[in-house]
Amino acid sequence: MLWRDIKRFLVGRPLETLQLGSERLNKVVGLAVLSSDALSSVAYATEAMLLVLMAAGAAGTDQALRVGGFILLLLVIVVASYRQTVYAYPQGGGAYFVAKENLGTTFGLVAGAALLVDYTLTVAVSIAAGVDAITSAFPGLLAHRVALGLVAIGVIAFGNLRGIRESGAIFSVPTYFFISMFGLMLVVNIVHPLGYWPGVATRGQGALELVSSWLLLRAFSSGCAALTGVEAVSDGVAAFKPPESRNAAVTLGWMGVILGSFFAGSTYLAHRYGVVPVGAQTVISQLGHGAFGDSVFYFLLQFATALILILAANTSFADFPRLASFLGRDAYLPRQLANRGDRLVFSNGILLLALVAGALLWLFGGDTHALIPLYAVGVFLSFTLSQAGMVKRLVTRRERGWVGRATFSAIGAVATGIVLVIELATKFTSGAWITALLITLLVLAFYEIHHHYTFYARQISSKEWQPVWPRKHVVVVPVAGVSKSTASALAYALLLSQNIRAVAVATNPEQVAKLQDDWDMWDSGVPLEVLISPYRSIVRPLLDYIDRVANEEKPDWLTVVLPEVVPARWWHNIFHNQTALAIKAALLFRPNVVVTSVPYHLER
């Protein structure tokens, strides 16, 4: 009762299944919930690109606009392609459904695995980047960044457990606050370029090196972090209010415009003023200083950036559980992930994501730059499979206008496929191999889980099975002595069978005579057999006894009836041993053995 009350207070009252429709999102809230990941990437995508270009000095950073332009073009292609997916698959599921339906089950599972890995990394990377924004403004907190990140994951997971509509309302304000502050920063830097720039760290005049094609590819690969999260809207189409596809497509268009403008603006300004990552100062922090100096607006920008980076994880908490539920429904993940909780969200998926992302954050010490190399491989793998699946769908169905749409999706598939190869080639040794390995292991796990469910269904199927009623039934009643709980268990056992064996385990030889005398004096009509346990074990001698009875009697069913005393208050259990639980656990996997508990409730 106490735990249920606490849960109701923290999570909220349960919602009826009929209320599922009212929990859906409109476009404004949907942008905040499903686009925070994509919008947050502008806080680190330009920086990730510049970190690579800095290796060639000023000659390298001078290429930022060119590299950024190709990234922007790729963004346009991907957003336009996913708008087609949104209309074609209104149930959501994104790349998993598209690839599975059009390219085959294996490709669908690869896409699903890539998305699950991507969503998990999104949480770890966005939280780490959000903490970086905080420590840029308050360097004294740098030593506590892992703890801050874990707390942030817990808060977001808790918010999502309260329901998608309520979490959307909570998290919409920070998203639009970031859009306002980031947009203001860009405008001020463009229209008032001389403001505070003299005090900002700018690009040094180090030795110039030849800018190789390999370096440019690495920079392009790192900057493509700006595209992460673009697929989230297509995965969550079913979360929108009707008409789902139209609302999702409009939201996707809004997100593309804002994301493209912010990435282009920050990259242009960084190039214009020669801004590069310096020490604990992020590129966005330096651009903020350039626009606002040390005024309150700078700290508001940093606060907004930290919030959006942390809340970018909210996109994953919206889409990871939904995708996991699809895979669970199709028997490729545990079916528990397909169940909705009290607040009509997939609670098990939310908790699983929080646990795995928290472990990942702790393992990499909350270092954003250590996590980013793992990041984009899954994103572009799912992009490529999704768009290739759309090409197959359009060519097969040949609906009106299919040639133009198939050509566009084909261009997108080729472009993202090339980026995927670049990502693997440039980041393989720095961590991309881990992502590739995880995706492979996940796909193998999917097939193993599916095999288990198929085998399970075949085993319990009754199509060719005829019931055989038991001809012989033996009941074993383990007892600790003469008591009211023992009497209740024996009374129940007599309802089941006349072949009853009462057995007690004595851990001290001196107990044997007393146990037998008390039992004989009680005269229950059921004989008692006392087992001596020289090593003071209760469970092992009892299991050996049950095996002996089964071999002697060869019953069709053997039932073990356990007397259990239930204390008046739940916390009283800590004062009693849990022998009954140990016996149940030991007998769980014994064929034709049934364990029944007969509770005896104590009064308050």
What is the average pLDDT value for the chain, to the nearest integer?
A: 83
**Is the domain of 273 the same as that of 350?**
yes
Can you give the CATH number for the domain in which 559 is found?
3.40.50.620
Label residue 206 by pLDDT band (50, 70, 90). Answer: very low
Q: pLDDT tens across 88-134, in order?
A: 887 766 788 889 999 999 999 999 999 999 889 888 887 887 787 67
> Would you say 580 and 596 are in contact if contact means Cβ atoms under 8 Å apart?
no
Q: pLDDT tens across 263-280, in order?
A: 999 999 988 888 887 766
> In 3D, which of 12, 5, 26, 119 has the Cα closest to residue 350?
119
Q: pLDDT tens across 143-157, in order?
A: 888 888 899 899 888
**Is the domain of 449 the same as that of 478?**
no
Q: How far apart are CA 250 and CA 431, in angstroms?
A: 36
Confidence (pLDDT) at 464: 61
Confidence (pLDDT) at 579: 84
Q: How far apart are CA 188 and CA 180, in angstroms?
A: 12
> In 3D, which of 146, 172, 149 has the Cα closest to residue 159?
172
DSSP H or E segment with residue 475 = strand 473-479
**Is the domain of 447 the same as that of 484?**
no
Residue 419 has pLDDT above 60, yes or no: yes
**Is the domain of 133 the same as that of 230?**
yes
**Is the domain of 500 the same as that of 560?**
yes
**Is the domain of 209 the same as that of 325?**
yes
Residue at 5 is within a domain: no
CA distances in angstroms from 101 to 57, 98, 391, listed in the order given: 48, 6, 12
Q: What is the mean pLDDT of residues 297-303?
A: 89
Confidence (pLDDT) at 197: 58
Confidence (pLDDT) at 273: 85
For the chain, how many structural domains are there in total?
2
Residue at 246 is within a domain: yes
Confidence (pLDDT) at 543: 93
Residue 602 has pLDDT above 60, yes or no: yes
> Would you say 301 and 133 are in contact if contact means Cβ atoms under 8 Å apart?
no
Residue at 384 is within a domain: yes
Given 404, 428, 455, the domain boundary residue is 455
**Is the domain of 407 the same as that of 542?**
no
Residue 386 has pLDDT above 80, yes or no: yes
* pTM, entire model: 0.76
Residue at 552 is within a domain: yes
Q: pLDDT tens across 458-467, in order?
A: 777 666 666 6
Residue 37 has pLDDT above 60, yes or no: yes
**Is the domain of 414 the same as that of 505?**
no
The length of the chain in residues reads 604
Label residue 167 by pLDDT band (50, 70, 90). Answer: low
**Is the domain of 394 the same as that of 483?**
no
Q: How far apart are CA 579 and CA 544, in angstroms?
A: 16
Task: Read off the amino acid at residue 474.
Answer: V
Confidence (pLDDT) at 421: 87
Q: Which of 3-12, 256-265, 496-505 has the lowest mean pLDDT?
A: 3-12
- Which of the two residues, 457 and 488, has the higher pLDDT score? 488
Q: How far apart are CA 302 and CA 298, in angstroms?
A: 6
Given 455, 488, 510, the domain boundary residue is 455
DSSP bridge partners of 566:
601
Residue at 143 is within a domain: yes
Tokens 């670049």: give the residue. Answer: 422
**Is the domain of 430 the same as that of 486?**
no
> In 3D, which of 333, 291, 567 has the Cα closest to residue 445?
333
DSSP H or E segment with residue 445 = helix 433-460
Residue at 581 is within a domain: yes
Can you give the CATH number for the domain in which 155 is found?
1.20.1740.10
> In 3D, which of 234, 260, 228, 231 has the Cα closest to residue 248?
234
Residue 43 has pLDDT above 60, yes or no: yes
50: exposed, middle or buried (C-beta count within 10 Å: 0-12, 13-18, 19+)?
Answer: buried
Residue at 168 is within a domain: yes
**Is the domain of 85 the same as that of 192?**
yes
Which residue spans within 198-286 are E strands per DSSP?
none
Residue at 12 is within a domain: no
Q: How far apart are CA 579 and CA 596, in angstroms?
A: 14
Domain ranges, residue 250 = 23-455
**Is the domain of 487 the same as that of 379?**
no
> In 3D, which of 450, 436, 384, 371 has the Cα closest to residue 414?
384
Q: How far apart are CA 33 and CA 229, in angstroms?
A: 11
Label residue 200 by pLDDT band (50, 70, 90). Answer: very low
- Planar angle of CA 349, 351, 355, nearest 5 degrees: 115
